[in-house]
Amino acid sequence: MALDGKAILGRLTRRAGRRDGAEDTGAREAQGAAISPFWVIVQKEFGDHIRSWRFTILLAIITLACIGSIYSAVSAIRGGALKDELDFLFLQMFTISDGTLPNFITFVSFLGPLMGIALGFDAVNSERNRGTLSRLMSQPIYRDDFILAKFTASLLLVTVVIFALGLLVMGLGLFTIGYPPTPEEFWRVFFFLVLAVVYVGFWLNLSILFSIRFRQAATSALSSIALWIFFTVFYGLILNLIARAIAPSSDAAVQRILNYQETMLWLNRLSPAELFSEATTTLLTPNVRTLGPFTLEQVYLAIKSPLPLGQSLLLIWPHATGLIAATVICFGISYVMFMRQEIRSRS
C-alpha cells in the first residue's frame, strides 16, 4: 500500500512541480527543478503518517473489520438470505450481513471518521508544542499552504487506504462467491469509495480545525471524538424526542403529515453521518428510488425496477454537495483562525 501511495504521490508531485515551475516567474530560474514547498510538506507528512504507530494500529483494526464483514456477508449469501433478490448480487457483498458482524458500509461509516480524526487531531498543535511550527513559519512558505498540505497528505493517505480496502473486498468477493461484477456495479462501488473519502475528509478537516483551536492534542482529540459520538449516537436520540413532541395525530391531513416528515428529514440531514448513510444506501442498493416521503398515490403504477446509476447519482448529488460544503466550511474556519494566530515558540 505504501508503494501505491508513493507512486501516486510521485506523479502528483511531478505534475505540480511542472505547473509551479511555469508559474514561478523566474525568481529562481536556476532551481526550476526544485518542487514547491507545498509538495515538500505533503511528502514529509505522508511519510510521517505511514511510519507512525498510530496509522499501523488503525490500519490493522480497519483491515480486520473489513475481513470480518466480508466473512459475514459471504456466509449470509451462502445461507440463502437473498431468496428472490438476485439482482446486484455483487453489491450485496457490501450491504448484507448474517447478523454476527456489521456489514462493510457500517464499518466504513463507523471507523472512517475515527481514521480521519486520528490523522488530524494533532496536526498543528503538536508542531506548536514541539517548537517546530515557529521554525517552519520562518521559512518562505504561505501559512495556508501549511494547513492545506497537512490536509492533502492525510486525505491522500485516506484515499489510498479506502480504495485499497474497497478493492480488496471486491477481489475477495470474486474469489468466494465466484460472481463477477457488472460494469455498473463496479462504478457504483467506485462512487461509494469516493464518497467515503469525502466523508472521512470532512472528519479529518474538523479535527485539523480543533488542532488549530486547542493547544493540547488531548483536548482536540476529545472534542473531535465527542462531536463524532454526538452525531452517531445522540443526535438520533434527540431527534426522536423532537419527533415525539411535534408529531401530528395519525388522522391529521396528509399535507400536515408530509410537512412533519419533511421537517424531520431536514433535521436529520444536518448530521453528516446521516448524509453519508443515505448516500451510500442509495448507491449500493439500486432499488432505493427516493429518499423523501412519498404517498401511496405516487407509488401506484410505478414500475418496480432498480434505478440506473445516473439517476442514483442524481439522487445523492445534494448529499455529496452537503458533505463537501461542510468540509470547505471547516477549512475556511481553520484558515481564518490560523492566519490570525501569532506563532511563538511553544506557546
Partner 1 sequence: MDVRSGEREPVIELKGLTKMYGEHAAVNRLDLTIGRGEVFGLLGPNGAGKTTTILMMLGLTEPTSGSARVLGLDPTRSPLQIKRRVGYMPDDIGFYEDRTAIDNLIYTARLNRIPPAEAEARARELLERVGLAEAADKRVGAFSRGMRQRLGLADVLIKKPEIIILDEPTLGIDPEGVRELLELITRLSREERITVLLSSHHLHQVQQVCDRVGLFVKGRLIACGDIESLSKQLDEDGTITVELELEAWPDALDEALNGLGGVVSVRRGEGGKASVICSSDLTADIAQAAVGCGGRLLAVSRRKYGLDDIYHRYFEGGEAHGA
With CB under 8 A as the contact rule, the residue among 23, 26, 80, 140 that binds partner 1 is 140
Rounded to an integer, what distance in angstroms lies between the CA atom of residue 207 and that of residue 334?
A: 10
Residue among 89 and 141 whose Cβ is closer to partner 1: 141
* Nearest approach, Cβ of residue 337 and partner 1 (Å): 15
Give the burial class of 321: count Cβ atoms within 10 A of its Cβ; 0-12 exposed, 13-18 middle, 19 or more buried.
Answer: exposed
Half-sphere exposure of residue 106: CA atoms within 13 angstroms, side-chain side: 14
Say whether residue 119 binds partner 1 (CB under 8 A): no
Closer of 129 and 232 to partner 1 (Cβ): 129
Distance of CA 237 to the CA centre of its chain: 23
Nearer residue to partner 1 within complex by CB, 137 or 225: 137
Q: Which is nearer to partner 1, 304 or 340 (CB)?
A: 340
Q: Does the protein bind partner 1 through residue 56 (CB under 8 A)?
A: no
Q: Is 111 in the site for partner 1 (CB under 8 A)?
A: no
Residue 47, classed as helix, strand or coil, is helix
Q: Which stretch binds partner 1 (CB under 8 A): 7-15, 140-148, 167-175, 286-294?
A: 140-148
The answer to whether residue 14 forms part of the interface with partner 1 (CB under 8 A) is no
Least gap, CB of 330 to partner 1 (angstroms): 25
Grid cell digits, residue 172: 475477495
CA distance 167 to 24: 39
342 touches partner 1 by CB under 8 A: yes
Window of 40-48, 163-171, 272-280, 330-338 that interacts with partner 1 by CB under 8 A: 40-48
Among 136, 174, 227, 309, binds partner 1 (CB under 8 A): 136
CB nearer partner 1, residue 53 or residue 300: 53
d(CA 82, CA 184): 20
- Listed ranges 6-14, 130-138, 188-196, 260-268: which one lies at the site for partner 1 (CB under 8 A): 130-138
The C-alpha atoms of residue 10 and residue 288 are separated, in whole angstroms, by 40
The label of the residue with cell 496536526 reads 123
Contact status, residue 215 vs residue 128, Cβ threshold 8 Å: yes
Residue 88 cell numbers, joined: 446486484
12 forms part of the interface with partner 1 (CB under 8 A): no
Q: Pick from 5, 9, 41, 212: which binds partner 1 (CB under 8 A)?
A: 41
SS (H, E, C) 95-149: HCCCCCCCCHHHHHHHHHHHHHHHHHCCCCHHHHHHCHHHHHHCCCCCHHHHHHH
Least Å from the CB of residue 37 to partner 1:
5
28 touches partner 1 (CB under 8 A): yes
Backbone dihedral angles phi then psi of residue 232, each to the nearest 5 degrees? -85, -30
Q: How many residues bind partner 1 (CB under 8 A)?
A: 29
Question: Crossing angle, helix 53-78 and helix 37-51, to 10 degrees?
Answer: 70
Q: Least distance from C-beta 17 to partner 1, angstroms?
A: 11
CA 19 to chain CA centroid, nearest Å = 28
50 binds partner 1 (CB under 8 A): no
23 lies in the binding site for partner 1 (CB under 8 A): no
Smallest distance from the beta carbon of 115 to partner 1, in angstroms? 21
Please give the Cα distance from 322 to 202 (Å, whole number): 10
Pick 19 or 344: Cβ nearer partner 1 = 344
What would the grid cell of residue 283 be?
Answer: 448507491
Residue 137 beta carbon to partner 1: minimum distance, rounded to whole angstroms: 6
Site for partner 1, rule CB under 8 A: 28, 31, 33-37, 40-41, 44, 48, 130-142, 342-346
